[in-house]
Amino acid sequence: MKRSLFQSPGYTEILSALLFILLPLGFGGKEGMWAAMASFAFLIVLFLLRNEISINFFGLPFTIFILFSALWSESPHITIKWFFYFLMTLFISSLSKNQFPKVIKPAIFIVSISIVIHYIKGGSPYLTTSGRAGGTFFHPNAGAGFLLPAGVFSVYPRFDIPLFIVSLTGILLTGSRIVFSLFLFSSIVTLFFRFRKRMKIWYVFLFLIFTGLLFVALRSSPVWKRFSIQTFYSSFNVRMSLWKDTISAISENPMIGYGYGSFESIFPYFQKSGVYSRFPHSFILEILFSSGLLGFFLFAFYFYKSFEPSEKWRFSFIPLFLHSLFDFSLSAPANMGIFLTMISGKGFKKIRFEKPILYFLFLFLFLFGLSDFFFSLSKTRKSLEASIRWGEMAYAVFPISADRATMLSNLYLERFRKTGDRETIEKARRFAERAINIEGRNYSHYLNMGTIHLYLNDRKSALSSFKKSMSLYPQYPKLYLYAGELAFRDGMDSEALRIVEKGIFLEKILLSAENNEIIDIIELYRLKILVLKKYGMLNEVDKTKKDALSLGEIIRSKGLIERRTSRGRSVREALEEIRNM
């Protein structure tokens, strides 16, 4: 039987390399037009490879479980997305039979270059990752995780110095300490096992020269600033607190979990230490939180049955796996894709309904990409009406997305502020209700609903929504500020005082966790002073002012004095008002 052009071995290798280049560009977790376009290109290449791929039979039980978990998931729209990401990986991992160490190298080069470009442009704008670059990934640590296998592939099966230099440069610019250490360690260990029978003294000499050059490069990179006992100690304490809260949440639903990808929306409810994160900083804890013991054992079965130890290069998964134990590198679909591809050497079978499943995958990944594309256009339009039109199209393509519903609610609320049209505010309310129906335990949807009720002059419902939001995220001072101010304006002074004091109680917890949300405690102190003055409790007023100014000095020492509070002004301005009260 004659093979088509795209089925010849040379073109299969080229298309496989192109597929893995597009994987981090389209599925790195960073939303945007370019990411959506890269995902479309990924689907086209995957379609061209449809006759060269097969499904990993051992991964089906875990993947099907993820699909069914959407029924009880706290974030069903994200769980469904992850089902398709895992299903996609079951197919693309079959390409590991076609010289994966060779075809993954262009992707590593591209990701490294994207990180360099991101760094040149200024890097991450966020306070916690300022000056660090992540390229096409949602976080620098995730971008660094994708580059980790290069530590092995640059040494085994043959030396590739350009790959080593380029990937190391990318890792240095991400500022990830753990990845930098694991990258070097994996390179040295691989080098040792490759040459342990032929080790010569000049190898040691070259290694010492290389170490000196590396030290010079390290001194000028973002990683160097993060290598200190203080930063390590602080990072360790934060992770320990985060893991403790995560384990507590797992213990309340240990068998089936809360749904894959639901950590960000539901974790605030379980947060006790004051440490907040979108991810649990440990893949083991993430899979237990998301899919429980049942999902964990199904994933372990997938791993155990698929791994082929006779192919030595597959051990290159170890650095990425070790990183995932302490960070969230596998929370990026692209990283999960290469991780499962590296371990999957067995279990590929042609099943009866493979082609319909593959086309089903194409359809839904296309719809997700289309929704993301429209969503990105909506966020970048200067015209409000254009943003609403693109937002409606994004929601129509993926109508079970709470994020899209909230986005439309906010856009309609913005239109109401400009026009005062009653029908517009009702649309904002309906979309806010849809978001709550999809993610009923996400505090942000109730916060949004409370704001809408204020514009509808339904202050009682607004306060009720704010209180619900507080109950779902009890360690977020902003929520106490909104609820307290509303109660105070409505003359419910005792209720306002109760809410404010409950919020101020978070001060020590947030300080110990080094949580920057501490700045809103200043505004809570201001509100407490107003309530106490109304009661005529002047002694308590003086004590509260003293406590507020004392906290202000701590905030100043942390370099947050110019940060804006939830009332839209700097901490310095808020403290100045308190002094004059």
Of the pLDDT bands very low, low, confident and very high (cuts 50, 70, 90), residue 525 is very high
| CB atoms inside a 10 Å sphere around CB 125 | 8
Q: What is the pLDDT averaged over residues 88-105?
A: 86
Burial of 381 (0-12, 13-18, 19+ CB in 10 A): middle
CB 75 within 8 A of CB 290: no
Please state which of the ranges 158-167, 187-196, 319-328, 550-559 shows the lowest mean pLDDT: 187-196
pLDDT number for residue 218: 59
In whole angstroms, what is the distance from residue 344 CA to residue 89 CA? 10
How far is Cα 138 from Cα 25, in angstroms, rounded to an integer? 11
pLDDT of 54 > 80? The answer is yes
| pLDDT for residue 2 is more than 50 | no
Distance between CA atoms of 182 and 482, rounded to whole angstroms? 45
Q: Which amino acid is at 70?
A: A
Confidence band, pLDDT 50/70/90 cuts, at residue 219: low
Strands (E), 529-570: none
Predicted local confidence at residue 235, as pLDDT: 74
Q: Which residue has the higher pLDDT, 215 or 409?
A: 409
Is 60 exceeded by the pLDDT of residue 237?
yes
- pLDDT for residue 347: 84
Report which of 338, 391, 396, 398 is spatially closest to residue 364, judged by C-alpha positions.
398
In this prediction, residue 210 carries a pLDDT of: 63
Task: State residue 4's pLDDT score.
Answer: 47
**How far is the C-alpha of 483 from the C-alpha of 477, rounded, in Å?**
10
Residue 154: predicted pLDDT:
86
Our measurement of the distance from residue 525's CA atom to the centroid of its chain's CA atoms, rounded to an integer in Å, reads: 33
The CATH 1.25.40 portion of the chain extends over: 476-581
The least confident of 161-165, 190-194, 217-221, 517-521 is: 217-221
Taking only the tens place, the pLDDT of each residue in 169-202 is 899 888 888 898 899 888 888 887 777 666 555 5
- Most distant CA atoms of the chain, gap in Å: 94
Task: Mention every residue, 6+ apart, whose C-beta is less than 8 A from residue 463.
Answer: 450, 483, 486, 487, 490
Mean pLDDT of the chain: 87
Distance CA 526, CA 241 (A): 30
The CATH T-level fold of domain 476-581 is 1.25.40
32-51: average pLDDT:
90
Please determine, for residue 509, whether its predicted confidence score (pLDDT) is greater than 90.
no
CA dihedral 194, 197, 202, 207 (to 10 degrees): 30
Asked whether the predicted pLDDT for residue 9 surpasses 60, the reply is no
CA distances from 246 to 139, 267, 268, 282 (A): 21, 8, 10, 10
The answer for 8, left when phi > 0, alpha when psi is -120 to 50, beta otherwise, is beta
Which distant-in-sequence residues (6+ apart) come within 8 Å of 174 by Cβ?
115, 132, 133, 134, 140, 141, 143, 144, 222, 223
* Chain segment 349-405, per-residue pLDDT in tens: 777 788 888 999 999 999 988 998 998 899 888 899 999 999 999 999 989 889 889
